[in-house]
């Protein structure tokens, strides 16, 4: 140890001195101009706010005789996180208010698939987006090469900024090193990858040169960050149908730890293509109620026969409270906390005793610092599958007991299941419930499951509810469980 200590000490000291001597010359910082390459709607110029942030030097001393390291890094006080912007691309509309208004009215976004000929498939329905344009949001040449999941992601992300009042002037004042993007995808660029395989049958020369990067789940967040010039944390999380919640909670943690001031977070998926539909048909997961599409997604109903695929994106703009106040932002809700767990049981089936879900909800309550009596609204994962709906409901009953104030609903009864984007749009639905004081109905609940306490479920009409704390659940293949909580600010 003594032979190793001197050079190691020298290396550590040199590293510390090097870190403290690097000056952040603001005049040499690169300015990112949104819209030049990626086509932003507001031509948002990016200029760092105020002086450069060089960080606080960390003094490290090495003691060979003790074999330990002293770290004098100061503790960061946990900060409050609020929601200041929302962006959606869904089968029920591409603006948060339009989207939620349709939910409140019980409008179904499920219809026959028109994007491709699926006449030979046993399932021919989905929550398909019929009208969507990237005009003004993404450069045409880039949009042509992108997978739809990336198009949805970028448009929803920029709409969240616009909805959050992040004007050109505010963008000019942001410290880009403290702004991040964490928007995931469960499926990624399946269409780009599928097209590349077909092109390869002819020749590799026919392949889209962007097929590899545009098929990966991280590239949507990366392209959006390049467009905005946001240099903070940038990555994606892919945990199947739980993706959005994982991204939202992880993004909030970056803010709470003092690493960032703003985070765009959520999820996006575009699985309604032949390989996506075929894959879920092969595992017998989808409803085959083709003759009556709007009645196909029916969580907790005895006649449910599988989930209905959907597509789109849901993105939140999370912001540190004092930062939001300083720029005069409208605060829609406060993010309280959340949790991740794993069933560690089966690839697709929920744990028969709901252990993973129960643990997730309990940990989320503990993380948020609230009691189970504080929760009076749950936006459930409820996808319209036989086992999933029932096991989640049983877990909720075990977590919350007899609570006559608790109301439970499923957004998927109208949107279908947007896979990795589901948690994103459902977080928007939960926040809109807080804002409006109304919670949306469960449509198609005509013959409730006998083991489900219908008194907790919202009926076929919207209900008035002064939400105290909203819990949004999202679970994914592989036993991924996630719960996040929002409250009025």
C-alpha separations of 40 from 18, 23, 227 in Å? 38, 32, 7
Based on the residue annotation, tell me whether 417 is a catalytic residue of this protein.
Answer: yes
- In whole angstroms, what is the distance from residue 488 CA to residue 433 CA? 10
Cβ neighbours for 392, distance < 8 A, ≥ 6 positions apart? 350, 354, 357, 380, 381, 382, 473, 475
Catalytic residue (choose from 351, 417, 440, 480): 417
In the annotation, is 254 catalytic?
Answer: no
Pairing of strands 333-342, 480-487: antiparallel
Contact 445, 299 (CB under 8 A): yes
Residue with tokens 């309990």: 362
DSSP for 189-245, please give it: SHHHHHHHHHHHTT-GGGS-TTHHHHHSTTHHHHHHHHHHT--S-B-----GGGHHH
Q: Could you tell me the sign of the dihedral formed by the alpha carbons of 410, 412, 418, 424, in that order?
A: negative
Which of the following is catalytic: 254, 323, 381, 480? 381
DSSP 4-70: THHHHHHHHHHHHHHHHH----GGGPPPEETTSSS--TT--EE---SS--------EEEETTTTEEE
Catalytic residue among 179, 241, 397, 399: 241
Is residue 94 flagged as an active site residue?
A: no
CB 317 within 8 A of CB 327: no
> Which residues participate in catalysis according to the annotation?
241, 381, 417
């Amino acid at each position: 140890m003594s032979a190793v200590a001197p050079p190691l000490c020298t290396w550590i000291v040199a590293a510390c001195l090097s870190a403290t001597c690097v000056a952040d010359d603001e005049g040499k910082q690169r300015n990112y101009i949104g819209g030049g390459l990626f086509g932003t709607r507001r031509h948002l110029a990016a200029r760092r706010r105020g002086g450069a942030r060089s960080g606080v030097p960390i003094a490290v001393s090495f003691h060979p005789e003790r074999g330990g390291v002293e770290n004098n890094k100061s503790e960061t006080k946990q900060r409050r996180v609020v929601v200041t912007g929302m962006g959606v691309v869904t089968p029920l509309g591409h603006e948060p208010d339009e989207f939620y208004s349709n939910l409140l009215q019980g409008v179904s976004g499920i219809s026959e698939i028109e994007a491709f000929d699926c006449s030979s498939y046993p399932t021919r329905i989905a929550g398909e987006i019929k009208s969507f344009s990237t005009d003004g949001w993404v450069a045409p040449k880039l949009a042509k090469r992108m997978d739809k999941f990336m198009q949805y992601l970028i448009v929803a992300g920029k709409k969240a900024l616009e909805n959050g009042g992040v004007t050109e002037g505010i963008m000019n004042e942001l410290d880009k090193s403290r702004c991040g993007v964490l928007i995931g995808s469960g499926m990624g660029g399946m269409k780009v990858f599928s097209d590349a395989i077909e092109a390869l049958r002819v020749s590799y020369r026919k392949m889209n040169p962007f097929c590899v990067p545009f098929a990966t789940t991280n590239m949507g967040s990366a392209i959006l960050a390049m467009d905005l010039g946001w240099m903070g944390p940038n990555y994606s999380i892919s945990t199947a149908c739980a993706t959005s919640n994982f991204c939202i909670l992880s993004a909030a943690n970056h803010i709470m730890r003092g690493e960032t001031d703003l985070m765009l977070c959520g999820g996006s998926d575009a699985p309604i293509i032949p390989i996506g539909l075929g894959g879920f048909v092969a595992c017998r997961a989808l409803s085959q109620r083709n003759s009556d599409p709007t009645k196909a997604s029916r969580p907790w109903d005895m006649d449910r026969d599988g989930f209905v695929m959907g597509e789109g994106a849901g993105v939140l703009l999370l912001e540190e409270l004092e930062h939001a106040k300083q720029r005069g932002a409208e605060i829609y809700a406060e993010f309280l906390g959340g949790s991740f767990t794993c069933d560690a049981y089966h690839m697709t089936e929920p744990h028969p005793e709901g252990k993973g879900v129960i643990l997730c909800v309990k940990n989320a309550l503990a993380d948020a610092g609230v009691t189970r009596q504080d929760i009076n609204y749950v936006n459930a994962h409820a996808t319209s599958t036989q086992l999933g709906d029932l096991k989640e409901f049983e877990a909720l009953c075990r977590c919350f007991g007899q609570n006559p104030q608790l109301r439970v609903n499923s957004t998927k009864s109208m949107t279908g299941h947007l896979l990795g984007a589901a948690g994103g749009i459902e977080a928007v639905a939960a926040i809109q419930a807080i804002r409006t004081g109304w919670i949306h109905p469960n449509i198609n609940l005509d013959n409730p499951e006998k083991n489900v306490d219908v008194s907790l479920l919202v009926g076929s009409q919207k209900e008035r509810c002064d939400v105290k704390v909203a819990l949004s659940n999202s679970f994914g293949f592989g036993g991924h469980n996630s719960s996040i909580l929002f409250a009025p600010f």
